[in-house]
Structure 1
Amino acid sequence: MNHDSTSASSSPDVVSTHSVCGAPCWVSLISRDVEASGNFYGAVLGWEWRPARCGDHFRIALADGTPVAGIGAAASLGQTAVAWTPYFAVPSADEAVSRAQERGGTAAVGPISFPPGRAALLADRDGATFGIWEGELFTDWEAWRKAAPAFIRLHTRDAFDAAIFYGEVLDWASEQPGCCEVRYEGEEVVLRSHGEVVARIESGALEAAPDPTIRPHWQIHFRVADVAACVRAAEAHGGSVLRESRHEAVLRDPDGAQFTVTSRREA
Structure 2
Amino acid sequence: MVSQTARVRCVPATPCWVSLMARDLDEAQAFYGELLGWDFEPAPDRWGRYVHAVAGDEAVAGLGEASGDLALPISWTCYFGTESADQAADAVRERGGTLAVGPLLFDEGRVAFASDPMGAVFGIWEGPPGTARVLDVPGAPVWIELRTPDPFAAALFYGEVFRWDGRDPAHFEVRWEHERVVLLAEGRSVAALRAGVPEGGPPHWEVSFSVPDTDAAVKTAERLGGGVLGAAFDSPYGRVARLRDPEGGRFAVICPNR
Equivalent position of 1:258 in the other structure:
250
Q: What residue in structure 1 maps to residue 120 of structure 2?
A: 128
CA pair 238-107 structure 1, distance change in 2 beyond 3 A: same
Quick one: structure 1 residues 15 and 38, their matched pair in 2 at CA, closer, same or farther if it must change by over 3 Å?
Answer: closer
Q: Distance in 2 between matches of 1:203 and 1:149?
A: 21
Which among 71, 79, 97 is matched to residue 87 of structure 1?
A: 79
2-structure distance, mates of 1:77, 1:133: 25
* Residue 145 of structure 1 pairs with residue 132 of structure 2: no
Which segment is superposed worse, 180-189 or 231-240?
180-189
* 1:1-267 pair list within 5 angstroms: 17=10, 20-55=11-46, 56-75=48-67, 80-136=72-128, 141-142=132-133, 145-147=135-137, 148-175=140-167, 180-185=172-177, 187-205=179-197, 211-212=200-201, 215-245=202-232, 247-265=239-257
Query: Which residue in the other structure is 2:236 paired with?
Result: none
Q: Distance in 1 between matches of 2:170 and 2:83?
A: 11
Residue pair 2:226, 2:246 contacting (<8 A) in 1 also: yes
**CA separation of 1:123/1:178 partners in 2, compared to 1, >3 Å: closer, same or farther?**
farther
Q: Distance in 2 between matches of 1:60 and 1:16?
A: 13
Deviations 1:7-31 (CA, angstroms, capped at 9, x unpaired) = 68xxxxx8964xx320111111121
Residue of structure 2 equivalent to 1:11: none
Structure 1 residues not aligned, in runs of 5+:
1-5, 9-13
The structure whose residues are more often helix, as a share, is 1
Task: Say if 1:94 and 1:7 are closer, same or farther in 2 by CA, change over 3 A.
Answer: farther
- How far the C-alpha of 1:218 sits from its partner, in A, is 0.5
1:65–1:132 distance in 2 versus 1, CA, 3 Å: same
Cα distance between partner residues in 1 of 2:86 and 2:31: 35
- 1:38 aligns to what SS in structure 2? helix
Q: Supply the RMSD in Å over aligned alpha carbons.
A: 2.6
Higher relative contact order (CA 8 A, sep 6+): 1
After TM superposition, give the deviation of residue 76 of structure 1 in Å. 8.5
The answer to whether the Cα contact below 8 Å between 1:21 and 1:89 also exists between their aligned partners in 2 is: yes
Amino acid at match of 2:16: C
CA distance in 1, matches of 2:91, 2:69: 22
Q: Deviations over 1:169-202 (max 9, x none)?
A: 0111224798731112353111111211111111
CA distance in 2 between partners of 1:79 and 1:135 (Å): 29
1:52–1:79 Cα change, 3 Å: farther
Distance, in Å, in 1 between the alignment partners of 2:49 and 2:168 is 35
Q: Tell me the secondary structure at the aligned position of residue 96 of structure 2.
A: coil
Q: 1:164 to 1:79 in 2, by over 3 A?
A: farther
Q: Please, what TM-score do these two structures have when normalized by structure 1?
A: 0.83
Aligned to 1:3: none
Give the TM-score, by structure 2 length.
Answer: 0.86
User: Paired residues, what number?
Assistant: 247
